[in-house]
Amino acid sequence: MTEQLRLMAVHAHPDDESSKGAATMAKYVSEGVEVMVVTCTGGERGSILNPKLQGDPYVEANIREVRRKEMDAAREILGVGQEWLGFVDSGLPEGDPLPPLPEGCFALEDVDAAAGRLVRKIRAFRPQVVTTYDENGGYPHPDHIMTHKVTMAAFDGAVDTVKYPEDEFGPAYQPRKLYYNQGFNRPRTEALHQALLDRGLESPYGDWLKRWDDFERKERTLTTFVPCADFFETRDQALIAHRTQIDPDGGWFRVPMEIQKEVWPTEEYELSKSFVDTALPESDLFAGIRDND
């Protein structure tokens, strides 16, 4: 392999990069891969989920600036590059009936126009591999679903010089593989849940699994299992850097690290598109690429 390997991870909000595929990114950085996170929105409408910061007048009045600083800290911990697409957080609508989305938010943007911004990033960075969310957004947040739509359009559009002319968007380029993050999958959740119970420990996953059954959530096809247990601590440090979004004493961190590493030492992906031959299941997002250049 003579060409520099490059990975682009497209996420909806600051903090998503640290909760979805962060250990994978840190692993690849350690191997010399260039990793770029593209964050679609500023997270301006995100709730303050850390009880220690709820009611803090400075944080509430400056949430956009605070979340940008949190992203800077997480980026440094992971060792990745990071760029913003510049769209406005749509918020998570709640209620019955659901309220309309706010005017000017990311989820209401024209998909092809929004994809143009990502096409520029792809053509400039030239990643062989792109990761994002599946058509359900991983969970049905409007910004996650829009991130899927925009990434799919940009993945194809990066080579389309009619829709996205080179004099405006840069030289055409075709990434070779596209993956969906599938870290929150049932096999992993069940394995960790049972491991905790077998050791006489309380599991935070009982309610998760019940909701899984209640909502009849469709199981995804896991194609790629990246071994990255050595970077779980880095992942957690990056997640904690998003102080407004994560309670360091909360459920995210209730499974002892040694159990995580022993029982489920990988992060999982679903291969959506590939222009190279690869055998499934994979253990490397660059499978079929390293040996073909």
Q: What is the pLDDT of residues 192-235, one digit of tens each?
A: 999 999 999 999 998 888 887 776 567 889 999 999 999 999 99
Is there a binding annotation on residue 141?
Answer: no
Q: What is the pLDDT of residues 115-159, one digit of tens each?
A: 999 999 999 999 999 999 999 988 889 999 999 999 999 999 999
Q: Are 161 and 170 in contact (CB under 8 A)?
A: no
Is there a binding annotation on residue 96?
Answer: no
pLDDT over 70 at 19, yes or no: yes
Is there a binding annotation on residue 13?
Answer: yes
pLDDT mean over 99-105: 94
Q: Which residues of 112-140 are buried (b: 16+ CB within 10 A; e: fewer)?
A: eebbbbbbbbbbebbbbbbbbbbeebbee
CATH number of 6-184+222-274: 3.40.50.10320
What is the token pair recorded at 228?
């990255």
Q: What is the domain partition of the chain in residue ranges?
A: 6-184+222-274, 186-219
* CA 203 and chain centroid, separation: 25
Q: What is the pLDDT of residues 230-246, one digit of tens each?
A: 999 999 999 999 999 99
Peptide bond into 227 cis (omega under 30): no
